[in-house]
Amino acid sequence: MKINFLLLLTLIFFALIFIFTFKANGNPDKNDCLITSYEIYKKNFMSKDGRIIDYDKNNITTSEGQSYIMLQSLAVDDKPAFDLAWTWTKNNLQRSDKLFAWLWGKNSEGKYKILDYNSASDADIDIAFALLIAYEQWGNYKYLEEAKTIICSIWDKETKKIGSRLVLMPGVKQTSEEKIEINPSYFSPYQFRFFQKYDDLHNWEYLIDSSYYYLNTAMAQTITGLPPNWFLIKDGQIIFEYSQRSDFSYDAIRVFARIYLDYERTGEKRALTILEKSNIFIEQWRDFKTFYVNYQSNGELRDKDKFVGSISVLLPVISLYDKKVADEIYRQEVKPFIQNKTYWGSKKGYYSKNLTWFGLFLYENQLKGCRIKGK
């Protein structure tokens, strides 16, 4: 009896250890690099009340930044952080039409408030998408109700009929202007499909179709075949401004992530004509063993700066076409950063760190065994 009792105590002891270890580590199936980097990012950039702070730009907060932390917290199953970020976003950025003012920070009088009431449709889309995922993941019907009001407002306030096509506009302000400016990195076919799942009032296929049409048409007009950061539509034709807004760089890099997500989750064949343009980076690597990410629309390099965030976002796409090259790029250009706690610990490079994290998330199957090391 005594032996059995001791055995029972031992089993209970180890069971408790397992339970508390599981809780401390979150989802044990998730990659250590993703979990650890997320926790460091949250500690450095997220205030106690749920605001993401961009220290590089006078401590501003953007709706984009709030959407990113909501998506990341979902990926690692961190409901308290999600709720904190969402509550701050609702209380400080949400407009009467349920969309979100894109910029919040300190004004000329030293008071923190909304600095620009215009919306940013990419952030609005990502926030609504995050709420839908939260509803499916955690079962709170309130998330779904809140998401549906945002979705309807995106359709009503941030889309515009151009000829026979319905097009996503960058924000509410641009929707009403005569000059038609388009940011293709806001096009989000996979999220539009998800909206359709819960919205039977609108046909989101219109936006999916126009997204692929304008992406392919714009990319066909650049020497590199890469998408521009911005373009104009005039008389039904795509027009480049031939400035840095026409370059492939910090905005346009997200085109590959959004289109890859649609292809990876749905097998959309139209995505391949866009994703295959990543071969320019594969050829660059094979020839020169280097990786530059900023190009002018005329095909010339804009600069030779290397941005680990942009490179990380391209990794899962490159892996579709050449896994060996993707692995080489990862080991040489990305791994030294992502395994360095100093990189994640810095309060600089908020945007690059977000791109890096989402790139790693999409490339996760290649990252088994990755660990973040200290100094």
In the chain, the amino acid numbered 82 is F
Contacts of 280 (CB under 8 A, 6+ apart): 224, 225, 226
Task: Please name every residue paired with 68 in a beta bridge, in sequence order, or none if there are none.
Answer: none
| pLDDT > 70: percent of the chain | 91
Only one residue has tokens 């096009």, namely 187
Contacts of 337 (CB under 8 A, 6+ apart): 308, 343, 356
- What is the pLDDT, as a whole number, of residue 108? 92
Contacts of 346 (CB under 8 A, 6+ apart): 44
- At 117, list the tokens: 């009431």
- What is the pLDDT, as a whole number, of residue 3? 41
- At 61, list the tokens: 């907060």
Q: Which CATH number fits domain 26-366: 3.40.50.720, 1.50.10.10, 1.10.10.10, 3.40.50.1970?
A: 1.50.10.10
Mean pLDDT in residue range 285-309:
92
Gap between the Cα atoms of 69 and 86, Å rounded: 9
Mean pLDDT of the chain, nearest integer? 90
Cβ 272 vs Cβ 329: under 8 Å: no
Is 60 exceeded by the pLDDT of residue 310?
yes
- What is the pLDDT, as a whole number, of residue 369? 66
Q: Assign 340 a pLDDT band (cuts: 50, 70, 90).
A: confident
CA distances from 94 to 70, 85, 90, 123, 134 (A): 15, 13, 5, 12, 18
Mean pLDDT in residue range 255-280:
97
- What is the pLDDT, as a whole number, of residue 6? 42
Identify the H or E element spanning 272. Answer: helix 272-275
In the chain, the amino acid numbered 132 is L
Cβ 215 vs Cβ 255: under 8 Å: yes
- What is the pLDDT, as a whole number, of residue 374? 65
Give the model confidence (pLDDT) of 150-208 as tens digits: 999 999 999 999 999 999 999 999 999 999 999 999 999 999 999 999 999 999 999 99
Task: Please name every residue paired with 340 in a beta bridge, in sequence order, or none if there are none.
Answer: 373
Gap between the Cα atoms of 295 and 269, Å rounded: 26
Q: Rg of the chain's alpha carbons, rounded to an integer?
A: 22
Mean pLDDT in residue range 320-340:
93
Nearest partner of 232 among 187, 185, 188, 179, judged by Cα: 179
- CA atoms within a 13 Å half-sphere pointing along the CA-CB vector of 229: 15
Give the model confidence (pLDDT) of 71-130 as tens digits: 999 999 999 999 999 999 999 999 999 999 999 999 999 999 999 999 999 999 999 999
Task: Find how far residue 357's CA is from the centre of its chain.
Answer: 9
- What is the pLDDT, as a whole number, of residue 21? 33
166: left (phi over 0), alpha (psi -120 to 50) or beta: beta
Please give the residue that has the higher pLDDT: either 339 or 323.
323
Give the model confidence (pLDDT) of 197-252 as tens digits: 999 999 999 999 999 999 999 999 999 999 999 999 999 899 999 889 999 999 99
Is 90 exceeded by the pLDDT of residue 61?
yes
- What is the pLDDT, as a whole number, of residue 341? 81
* Beta strands 165-168 and 180-182, pairing class: unpaired
- What is the pLDDT, as a whole number, of residue 373? 75
Residue 366 DSSP code: G
Cβ 277 vs Cβ 292: under 8 Å: no
Give the model confidence (pLDDT) of 348-367 as tens digits: 999 999 999 999 999 987 77
Is 70 exceeded by the pLDDT of residue 24?
no
Give the other-Cβ count within 10 Å of 11's Cβ. 10
Q: Assign 8 a pLDDT band (cuts: 50, 70, 90).
A: very low
- What is the pLDDT, as a whole number, of residue 324? 96
Only one residue has tokens 């992502």, namely 338
Q: Is 102 helix (H, G, I), strand (E, B) or coil?
A: strand
- What is the pLDDT, as a whole number, of residue 204? 98
Is 90 exceeded by the pLDDT of residue 18?
no
Q: Which stretch of 6-15, 32-41, 255-264, 273-282 has the lowest confidence by average pLDDT?
A: 6-15
pTM beyond 0.85: the answer is: yes
Please give the residue that has the higher pLDDT: either 261 or 32.
261
Residue 322 DSSP code: -
